[in-house]
Structure 1
């Protein structure tokens, strides 16, 4: 009985999606939060999912969204896509993304902001709210 009680927290913690890392190929995929992808070649749809709750506890939604984006970028890179765009908001830890090949075409930035330069690590588009989230290295 004691062994069972000790294993429960270990099993619950192992269900967390720690260790989701942006692959080298995924780093080349940009996220078009509000950019126009009508001039891009649509390659398909990617649906990714992570644990949004551990037992009765809801996970931090910012972390869940960040992990979904990282996974979508990694999967889109496998399809030779260079751009992804969310098709819907996350639901129960799952989110669909469109995968596109836009080539060297720059997507228009939201809010009239200038696009990022090629030497910058900032994304080519910025959400209408004027901020962008990035995965935290090593977390």
Structure 2
């Protein structure tokens, strides 16, 4: 019985983000952190939310922001959008995003010194400050 009570208290904390996964359509949606959506067609507004607290415990802001981005990307795919842009900072576990259809997203320029090889991986910043 003594082990059951702590397990029941920890279970809700562990289960917070199990269901929030980037689906196959959401993988095709990029995030325009630099606000560059010129030449894109406005497809609508998306508002997503997650729990920011579990009881008296505040959840990690990084985890909340990651989950909000994943949810927005998944929702944007349903609007036939391929790009989203945050309309402000997340507050109380909620954030609004604008959805756009931009066509093929431009790729960052590569250095002439580092030509890609088969199997190379590109990384992109999560958010620029």
Greater C-alpha radius of gyration? 2
Deviation track 1:75-100 (CA, whole Å, cap 9, x = no partner) reads 00011110000001000000000100
TM-score by length of 1: 0.70
SS across alignment from 2:9: helix
> 1:78 is matched with which residue?
78
Structure 2 unmatched ranges of 5 or more: 111-115
Aligned mate of 1:114, from 100, 106, 109: 109
TM-score by length of 2: 0.75
Could you say if the C-alpha distance between residues 13 and 105 of structure 1 is closer, same or farther in structure 2, counting changes exceeding 3 Å?
closer
Q: How many residues align?
A: 117
Could you say if the C-alpha distance between residues 126 and 68 of structure 1 is closer, same or farther in structure 2, counting changes exceeding 3 Å?
closer
Structure 1 unmatched ranges of 5 or more: 108-112, 130-139
Deviation track 1:80-133 (CA, whole Å, cap 9, x = no partner) reads 1100000010000000001000002528xxxxx637x9x96545x76434xxxx
Q: Tell me if structure 2 keeps the 8 A contact 1:49–1:94.
A: yes
